[in-house]
Structure 1
Amino acid sequence: MGSLKKWKHGLYTLIALAMVFVALPRISLAGGLNWVNGFGIFWVLFALLIIGANLHFLLGVDEEKLKMLDRVRRAKMQQWQMKWDNKTDKGSML
């Protein structure tokens, strides 16, 4: 399933890159900054944000972070289990 997600993110990156390459030549700032050009610039920036997010996933920058969070989650679960065991032990003595 991991490779399917990577394949999808690769496809999304390629589509967004193609959209940016089609849109950039059509944005002309020669006439000054108006609503149409402002929208075009905002749209290209948003597409670049999408490209960056997909590349971030494809490069696996968060893998180490996910491993660390999993270790923290396991430690918290062990603490919770120890507290639960202590409560049940005290409750059985009554």
Structure 2
Amino acid sequence: MKVIWTHEAKKSFDGILDYLLNVWSQKEALAFVDLVEDTIAKIKEHPELFKISKYNHTSREAFITKHTTMFYRILEESIEIEYFWGNFQDPKKVEKFLK
């Protein structure tokens, strides 16, 4: 299946990457990228692998790390990456990104 990233997904992914590069190191940032790529590869093979989101029942939640969740939707012919969420944030805020 084709994978499409929303603008918010790109923006939130870049924000996490910037944080890792500035606060941690390039090693951690590259490890995060690898985890995201591995997770997306699994989703392409098994789109329903991860649970349906409690915030929006058309989205699914893939835990990338204990700190980060990736939200995605299964469309007819593609997977749409919607948003990357820092799990330490107020969970009420995630709903506005999953419309």
TM-score (norm 1): 0.30
When you count strand as a share of all residues, which structure comes out higher? Answer: 2
Q: Which has the larger radius of gyration?
A: 1
TM-score (norm 2): 0.29
